[in-house]
Structure 1
Amino acid sequence: MKKLLFIGVLLPLMVLCQNRTVVSTNRIFPKPDKVMEFEKALTNHAQKYHTGLWKWRVYTIESGPDAGGYHIVEGPTTWDEVDKRGDLGAEHMNDWLKNVMPLTTEKSANSYSVFREDLSSIGITDYSDKITINHVYPKPGQFPAVEELVKQLKKVWDASNQTIAVYEASASGEPQMAFVTRYKQGLKERERDFRKPMKERYEAINGAGSYEKYLATIANITDHSWSEMLFYNAKLSSK
């Protein structure tokens, strides 16, 4: 009977955790002459006010158009938990507005994304310190076609142990899929000879001639894309 009661309590918790697929991101940019002060203020804020469900993982943006910025990830949570989050209290907001924001420029960005487990080759919380994000924007009406193409890619990632987390933007600008490559073995995974060429790996799974069709399909269903590299900074993040 005790075992049954324990299972009865555990199952709802397991279901709740499994449904935590929502992440929010905040990009902020320190004033060039205030970087040290900014990092100190950000660290104090993250470690004092962002705990539990609202922990922060802070990344430095190393390349791309936002290089020099800081990428703050909160979650994963559920939409219901986001709905009930509020502003984490007056003390939290006072610290953010008075101690952190004055050290930043006017440039910033906030967004929500939903983790797509069905399209990913790694779990949502199986993080890495070094990542790249490839932002892909489907043409109007082509989002389902992009999803189908990613399903073919996932087979290749799984077969070659390539760890990529896929996120779908939610009410955050134009429709987008973000492909986060998590380098579990470090940046050496970016070496050209670390894995077999993509064409060889893709056709081993999807058949001869399939890679050319894949490239043609990308050209037809996507509008544009861009990529960037980010490094996790544990010192700036929640404990």
Structure 2
Amino acid sequence: MLLLPLLAIGQESTEYGVFETANITPNPAQVTQFEKGLAEHNKKYHGEGPYGVRVYWIANGPNTGSYHWSMGPFPWSSLDNRPAQKDGHDNDWNKNVAPYTTEGSGAQSYWRSHPELSRFPKDFTIKNMSVDYWDIKRGKYEDAMKLVEKVNKVYAAKAPNEIWGIYTNEFSSTKEGRDLAVISFFDKSAWLGQDNSIAKKYEEMNGAGSWAQFIKDWMDVTNGGETEIWIYRPDLSGISGDVKVAPSK
């Protein structure tokens, strides 16, 4: 999904930032051709503005070896002017990218960014991401987001330099089970083995035993989840990994 965390939309606008994403799996025997076509396509048609694209390589789980293609963020209204057939966009994709993918590859999703629940305290450059997908139980969306808000407050107070983003699936399905994405941005793989002491930090703010209650509440509103590690591929992307979120001085 991804992944600029914030979108500058006029204050009077009611629109919000959305990402169009797709997991694309290349034919194992044609990865070189696939990467070449994908890189040239993105740099030609998705190199700026709301149609800018970043590409990530998925390093674990059932989608290992697939590429996560993410365009945005953009307001919904901008889709009316996206690159299309008249610009040569569709023909280029169909000729230089699609032939090198596996059958059924590329199903799209749309994810809404929630900057009010995210932590982007400084400018940074995307390198690696840990993406936690959660399946929210039917009728429990509001309860789940209230719990996310509690954790966000803890990170804001106790780990102010941690960078993470919250995204929700605009068209989620019970079959897919991916309603919420929690994305943590990191540089070094050693980060994966570090203890962030979230339980201790949470109880420092909410009292003894509060973390155990949080886990119980979270289990009550979700059906489970899964985690993927994404590695940013600047060579295949249309835009850089630089994210500017801090106010200029």
State TM-score, norm by structure 2: 0.83
Q: Aligned to 2:41, which of 40, 45, 56?
A: 45
Aligned length: 225
5+ long unaligned stretches in structure 1: 1-11
Question: Distance between the aligned counterparts of 2:21 and 2:59, measured in 1?
Answer: 16
Q: Quickly say closer, same or farther: Cα 1:124–1:30, change in 2 above 3 A.
A: farther
> How many angstroms does 1:214 deviate by?
0.5
Match runs of 1:200-219 below 5 Å: 200-219=200-219
Match runs of 1:27-46 below 5 Å: 27-46=23-42
Q: Tell me if the contact between 1:167 and 1:177 (Cα under 8 Å) persists in the aligned partners.
A: yes
Structure-1 residue corresponding to 2:22 = 26
> How many angstroms does 1:117 deviate by?
1.2
With 16-25 and 57-66 compared, the bigger mean Cα shift is at 16-25
Match runs of 1:123-202 below 5 Å: 128-158=126-156, 159-160=158-159, 161-174=161-174, 176-183=179-186, 185-193=187-195, 195=196, 197-202=197-202
Q: Which residue identity lines up with residue 73 of structure 1 in the other structure?
A: S
> How many angstroms does 1:206 deviate by?
1.6
Q: Tell me if the contact between 2:9 and 2:15 (Cα under 8 Å) persists in the aligned partners.
A: no
Q: Quickly say closer, same or farther: Cα 1:123–1:86, change in 2 above 3 A.
A: farther
Residues 173-200 of structure 1 show CA distances to partners (whole Å, capped at 9, x for unaligned) of 34611001111x433222234x3x2211
Q: SS at the partner of 1:178?
A: strand
Residues 127-148 of structure 1 show CA distances to partners (whole Å, capped at 9, x for unaligned) of 5210011001111100000011
Match runs of 1:23-102 below 5 Å: 23-52=19-48, 53-85=50-82, 87=84, 89-102=86-99
Q: Tell me if the contact between 2:83 and 2:89 (Cα under 8 Å) persists in the aligned partners.
A: no
Question: Distance between the aligned counterparts of 2:12 and 2:96, measured in 1?
Answer: 35
Identity of aligned residues (%): 30
| Structure (1 or 2) with the greater helix fraction | 1
Q: SS at the partner of 1:75?
A: strand
Q: Tell me if the contact between 2:85 and 2:91 (Cα under 8 Å) persists in the aligned partners.
A: no
Question: Distance between the aligned counterparts of 1:179 and 1:213, measured in 2?
Answer: 20
Q: SS at the partner of 1:181?
A: strand
Q: Quickly say closer, same or farther: Cα 1:58–1:36, change in 2 above 3 A.
A: same
Residues 51-72 of structure 1 show CA distances to partners (whole Å, capped at 9, x for unaligned) of 3221110100111111100001
Q: Tell me if the contact between 1:23 and 1:74 (Cα under 8 Å) persists in the aligned partners.
A: yes
> How many angstroms does 1:209 deviate by?
0.9
> How many angstroms does 1:125 deviate by?
8.4
Name the Cα RMSD after superposition.
2.4
Q: Tell me if the contact between 1:115 and 1:124 (Cα under 8 Å) persists in the aligned partners.
A: no
> How many angstroms does 1:219 deviate by?
1.4
With 85-94 and 201-210 compared, the bigger mean Cα shift is at 85-94
Q: Which residue identity lines up with residue 183 of structure 2 in the other structure?
A: V
State TM-score, norm by structure 1: 0.86
Q: SS at the partner of 1:215?
A: helix
Q: Which residue identity lines up with residue 236 of structure 2 in the other structure?
A: L
